[in-house]
Amino acid sequence: MRSQTPGTNVVLLSLSLLALVVWLGLDTVSLAANRIVPGTGYRIDEILGWGGALATCLPWLALVGIAWRPTRPRLVLALALVVLMLSALPAWLALSAETLVDIPGARLGIGAGIWVVLFLLLLALIELRTRLVLGRLLGWGLLLPPVASAGFCLARWLEPLALWQEYRSRSDQFLGAVGEHLLLVGVAVGTSLALGVGLALAMRRWPGVQKVGFGVLNFLQTIPSIALFGLLLAPLAWLSANVDWLSALGVSGIGWAPALLALVGYSLLPMVRNTFVALEAVDPGVVDAARGMGMSRGQVFRQVRLPLALPVILEGVRITTVQAIGLTAVAALIGAGGLGTFIFQGLGQAAMDLVLLGALPILVLALLVDALLGALTDILRPGGAE
Amino acid sequence: MTDPRRWLVPMVWLALLLAATLGMGQLEGLFRWLESDSRQVIYARADFLTLLGRHLLVVSVAAALAILIGVGAAIAATRPWGRDFLPLVSQLASIGQTFPPVAVLALAVPVLGFGTLPIIVALLLYGLLPIVRNTLAGLAGIEAGVMEAARGMGMSRGQILRQVELPLAAPVILAGIRTSVTINIATAAIGATVGASNLGDPIISGIVNGNTAYVVQGALLIGLLAISVDSLFSRLPMSGAR
């Protein structure tokens, strides 16, 4: 980018123009009298009239203007605008709820327009963050105002929001499901970390184990999760019927046992691969130097090899955890509980807000874990952040 | 390419898949033993060949579109006129891979409705990410000297793309397509819960009715399908971890 006469930021320009079209053209909310009837969609001009609708376009036009001739201060202004608009989306839902809902028990659905605009705004946020070279922490901090705004609006005005109604009618179940989900993921990742490090060490000692081990784990990874859960059903059901102590433990063809087995199986490949690569990649010169200083083999491993390999191993933990969060959702099909239960219940009852109640937290969990472990990896990287 | 033994392993898997699809009825005795309480032990609402065909159709349509759009988008973002989009596209491709495929599938339903089309769209969207990411990585991995030489030979931009960049990036792009297809075969099966009829059907219906035999039949065929396709891909020249 030239500093004197900056060229047009095509990305921001196209994002704002696209968002403007979507904002005016698609349904922003839908209203249904109860849970069974399909909702009626409302475009923004049907709620505010064309005058009001055009007034809400002003911030977008400002973004278009900034994108046309961007300078750094203007881009900062654009960033503030985007954060403001993100925070205004829940307020817009609240306003629609106040205007449209006239009978008690009516349900306000979030329309396609709002989802697409939300997506485009987040893209604009990423673009501006990259252009302005903002740090990771600040980038996340920018999401605080929208989240706070959403929380405030939910508490004050958004009682008719269908998603919120679904949550309130099963808030205990919801917390339980989040707990189950995290427990399954945690136990699976913990187990595979322990097994994975052991296996990686064995692979380093015996090349035969390496060839066979990677072969088996790669093979396992190709089998679709739903098929693996299904194939584990029969043998586990047989085991629990014939081995007393296993059935006493609660092992059966459905439930947590096949889910956990499959999760550990899937988690082992990224875990072992990263641990193995990390330990292999440690510079032999460093190890020689450590030995030369009189360190024992154990000391070299604990004080040199492991700390140097740690960031890459953590990278494995990150990949594994994100993958396990998604797979646990599928495990709900075989009765393992967790947030996937809401997804499949909702799909069965054609209750889309219930589906959202399962899918959105899974998405948020995956993104959070990814961001947290990513930040941790950066901190532990030698010569990385202090 | 010339060595026919190279294709032996994928052919064995494909033969097993076909044999299992066509001969599932012959295994009735085995499934009777597995599920002795049920009246019917072989899934009969649709025959397995039809289910396999529909599964393949959905996955291949989604894959073809994803390859077209994904490779196209990555090429566009690396040309001089599209370079502005490069940071956004590459960040989007890496953030998007954090999304669990089930969640993407579940989120597609409220917007697009039940049936085959939402599944194709969801598979397409999710399948784009590894392809875009790998195409970008493949194009970025080409040595500057090679490009310099191509330009020095007087090749036009289009020629460089077709004769230098794409062939050199092909192994990495293929690895991305492999990842994309593997995930999509699995996700399509879960699509049976949102009204698509494919190999996931016997599994879902077996779980709902408590019929283990159905579940095992569906799981066996999906497993064999995934392994056959993956093993076909593994014979192509490819590089990079999956």
Structural domain ending residue among the three candidates A103, A133, A165? A165
- The gap between the terminal CA atoms of chain B, to the nearest Å, is 22
Render pLDDT for A47-106 as a digit per residue (tens, 0 to 9). Answer: 777 877 788 888 888 888 888 888 888 888 888 888 888 888 888 888 887 777 777 777
The contacts of residue A194 (CB under 8 Å, 6+ apart) are: none
Residue B189, both tokens? 């099966």
Structural domain ending residue among the three candidates A140, A165, A190? A165
Euclidean distance between CA atoms A17 and A3, whole angstroms? 25
Query: Is A385 a domain residue?
Result: no
Q: Is A159 found in the same domain as A175?
A: no
Q: Is A364 found in the same domain as A288?
A: yes
The answer to whether the CB atoms of A333 and B204 lie below 8 A apart is yes
Is pLDDT of A185 > 90? yes
Confidence (pLDDT) at A1? 43
Question: Number of folded domains in chain A?
Answer: 2
Stretch A182-210: mean pLDDT: 90
Q: Is A278 found in the same domain as A141?
A: no
Confidence (pLDDT) at A4? 44
Contacts of A222 in chain B (CB under 8 A): 182, 226-227, 230
How far apart are the CA of A299 and the nearest CA of chain B, in angstroms?
Answer: 32
Query: Is A330 a domain residue?
Result: yes
> Which fold would CATH assign to domain B46-234?
MetI-like fold (1.10.3720)
Structural domain ending residue among the three candidates A149, A165, A181? A165
The answer to whether the CB atoms of A224 and B34 lie below 8 A apart is no
How far apart are the CA of B138 and the nearest CA of chain A, in angstroms?
Answer: 21
Is pLDDT of A186 > 90? yes
Q: Is A236 found in the same domain as A95?
A: no
Average pLDDT, chain A: 83
How far apart are the CA of B153 and the nearest CA of chain A, in angstroms?
Answer: 30
Query: Is A42 a domain residue?
Result: yes
Q: Is A374 found in the same domain as A258?
A: yes
Residue A110: strand pairing partners = A29
Query: For chain B, which residues make up each domain, given as ranges?
Result: 46-234
By Cβ distance, the residue of A223, A326, A330 closest to B223 is A223
Q: Three-class SS of residue A110?
A: strand
Confidence (pLDDT) at B177? 92
In this structure, the number of other CB atoms found within 10 A of the CB of residue B44 comes to 11
How far apart are the CA of B228 and the nearest CA of chain A, in angstroms?
Answer: 10
The answer to whether the CB atoms of A322 and B223 lie below 8 A apart is no
Query: Which residues numbered 174-213 in B keep a CB inside 8 Å of some CB on A?
Result: 182, 185-186, 189-190, 193-194, 200, 203-204, 206-207, 212
What range defines the domain where residue A282 resides? 171-380
Stretch A113-120: mean pLDDT: 87
Q: Is A244 found in the same domain as A102?
A: no
Query: Is A81 a domain residue?
Result: yes
What DSSP state is assigned to residue B81? G
The β-bridge relationship of strands A40-42 and A107-110 is unpaired
Q: Is A53 found in the same domain as A93?
A: yes
Taking the Cβ of residue B87 and every Cβ of chain A, the question of whether any pair is shorter than 8 Å is answered with yes
The answer to whether the CB atoms of B110 and A356 lie below 8 A apart is yes
